[in-house]
Amino acid sequence: MASASPTSRSLANIRERGYTPWVVEYWNSFSRKRVDLYGIFDIIAVGNGETLAVQTTSGANVSARVKKIADSEYIDAIRKSGWRVEVHGWRKSSRNRWVLRIVDVS
């Protein structure tokens, strides 16, 4: 996946982990912006007896996404519902390979 997006790489990882994912981010042509589910999730997946919500980004933006989730008005209800919440940060290694950092913010 040389030119795959972070979302595509996360989808592959999520499938490898036994989940069935669905992209819940969409393009709003009126505002010309991407819109995330609850303003914080790109992917929702079910499997392994749980619901997994994922925000995917570049490696450099992981902390900003963790903060965005922590500041969300919806995160308390999501956590009370038992969802697992992860931030996926993708970066290139010194060997020019994609490396995933997963931060669990459930």
* Tens-digit pLDDT profile for residues 60-91: 999 999 999 999 999 999 999 999 999 999 99
The amino acid at residue 43 is I
pTM above 0.75, yes or no: yes
Q: Yes or no: say if 87 and 52 are a contact pair by the CB < 8 Å rule.
A: no
Would you say domain 6-104 falls under CATH 3.30.70? no
DSSP-derived secondary structure for 23-80: E--EEETTTTEEE-BTTTBSEEEEETTEEEEEEEEEGGGHHHHHHHHHT-TTHHHHHH
**The pair of three-digit structure tokens given for residue 17, joined into one six-digit string:** 């982990």
**The pair of three-digit structure tokens given for residue 65, joined into one six-digit string:** 């996404």
Domain ranges within the chain, ordered by starting residue: 6-104
What average pLDDT is seen over the chain?
94
- Residues of the chain above pLDDT 70, percent: 97
**Could you read off the pLDDT of 2-49 as tens digits, one per residue?**
567 899 999 999 999 999 999 998 888 999 998 889 999 999 999 999
